[in-house]
Amino acid sequence: MAVEDDLARARAALQMINPAPYNAEAPPQALAGEITPIEFHYVRSNFPLPAHDGTLEVGGAVDNPLTLTLDDLRAMPAHERAVTLECAGNGRLELRPLPSGEPWGGYAVSTARWRGALLHEVLQLASPRAEGVDVRFQGADHGAYHLNPVLADTDRDDLTFVRALPLAHAADPAAEILIAYEMNGEPLGSDHGSPFRIIVPQWYAVASVKWLKRIDVLTEAYAGEFQTGHYMYEWADRPAEPVDVMRVRARITAPAAGSTLSPGTCTVRGKAWSGTGPVTRVDVSLTGAGEWHAARLDPPSGPYHWQDWSFEWQANDSGRHTLRARATDAAGNVQPEVPPWNRLGYGNNAIEVIFVDVV
Ligand SMILES: Nc1nc2c(c(=O)[nH]1)N[C@H]1C(S)=C(S)[C@@H](COP(=O)(O)O)O[C@H]1N2
Ligand SMILES: [Mo]
């Protein structure tokens, strides 16, 4: 009972888009601050909340298999990073024709401070063999899954959430991948993967496996429903590609879409992020057509953290106005005008358009 009350409280501030499995967007104010409060952080789960026995097995092609507890992870050097997580399906609702999948608007994105042990140090303890190719992460969550008609019956009846990363990335100290047990200074809550989860900076959040139960080093590339079935960009005109790093994107957080303003100076502001970041410029358009104006862009306060931008708009003319914001990142990626349509609706980073009225 107490547990259910806690869960209800934790979920009260979110915009639910699916009750079972529980999926919910952040409220717009989640994007206002540097860090999203836990109760505003979006939640995306493919299965019901699992039971977790508190242990983590590390095995497969390793010389030294391990069983770790939360205390073991806490006894290792702790590492903390603010990491912006975005669901690969964020913005799916804007795509036409509407792909199947959770109908995310634009708020399946949040930033939290994650603290945990470093994955590469855990892997070092286990000592992967030279023939290792991928590192596979298994969640404790599982259940019926009928979203892919080509799945084997056994999987349709009971599938577990599993993802993998290339061993070279998982074992790279520079990747700063965490086995996180704290979020914003508190023990991980059940919706976010308690007692511990993976956090993969810069990747769409599907890589950040919650309720982590097993880590296995594999000697071949992993194929599985959440790796090579779903979470693939299925393009109309070229071969499919795996969903990996977050595409460059800006959101407008003020003024609110559809709001009415008085004439005068209006500060247009928002957030911008990229998995191939940092973001190096944000431009604002006030007409819906060309004519982009450079916004002021704050430097990132961390390597995996969304950035603030703002633009002083002289909103003197009454009437309806079209505001757009477009981000460019350090790798030279720019947001497209038209959402990149793919069958399962991932990676929509099209330029946001809002309307406001000056009266
Ligand atoms: N075990 C497990 N991990 C998971 C998922 C899941 O369904 N099961 N969903 C993934 C997806 S698609 C996203 S977007 C993020 C969401 O993390 P959050 O709920 O903490 O925001 O978790 C990822 N990790
Ligand atoms: Mo996701």
Question: Which residue minimizes the CA distance to atom 20 of ligand 1?
Answer: 192
Q: What is the pLDDT of residue 164?
A: 98
Ligand 1 mutation target, pool 87, 102, 162, most atoms within 8 A of CB:
87
Residue-wise pLDDT for 129-187, tens only, equals: 999 999 999 999 999 998 888 888 888 889 999 999 999 999 999 999 999 999 999 99
pTM, whole model, 2 decimals? 0.96
Cα 87 to averaged position of ligand 2 atoms, centre (Å): 4
10 Å Cβ neighbour count for 127?
15
Q: What is the pLDDT of residue 2?
A: 64
Q: Which residues keep their CB under 5 angstroms from ion ligand 2?
A: 44, 87, 206
Tell me the average pLDDT across 25-34. Answer: 93
Residue-wise pLDDT for 220-246, tens only, equals: 999 999 999 999 999 999 999 999 999
- Evaluate whether 216 touches 138 at the Cβ level (below 8 Å): yes
**Whole-number average pLDDT of the chain:** 96
Among residues 215, 252, 210, 25, the alpha carbon closest in space to that of 134 is found at 215
Question: Which residue minimizes the CA distance to atom 23 of ligand 1?
Answer: 206
Cα 118 to averaged position of ligand 1 atoms, centre (Å): 19
- Sorted by where each starts, the structural domains of the chain and their CATH numbers stand as 2-242 (3.90.420.10), 249-358 (2.60.40.650)
Q: What is the pLDDT of residue 184?
A: 98
Tell me the average pLDDT across 8-33. Answer: 92
Task: Kindly list the protein residues whose Cβ atom lies closer than 6 A to any atom of ligand 1.
Answer: 41-47, 85, 87, 139, 141, 161, 191-192, 205-206, 208-211
The closest-lying atom of ligand 1 relative to the alpha carbon of residue 86 is 14
Q: What is the pLDDT of residue 324?
A: 97
Q: What is the pLDDT of residue 345?
A: 97
**Strands ordered across the beta sheet of 264-273:** 249-254, 264-273, 307-315, 296-297
Reported as a pLDDT band with limits 50, 70 and 90, residue 319 is very high
Say which residue, 111 or 152, is predicted with more confidence: 111
Task: Count Cα neighbours of 55 within 13 Å in the Cβ-side half-sphere.
Answer: 7
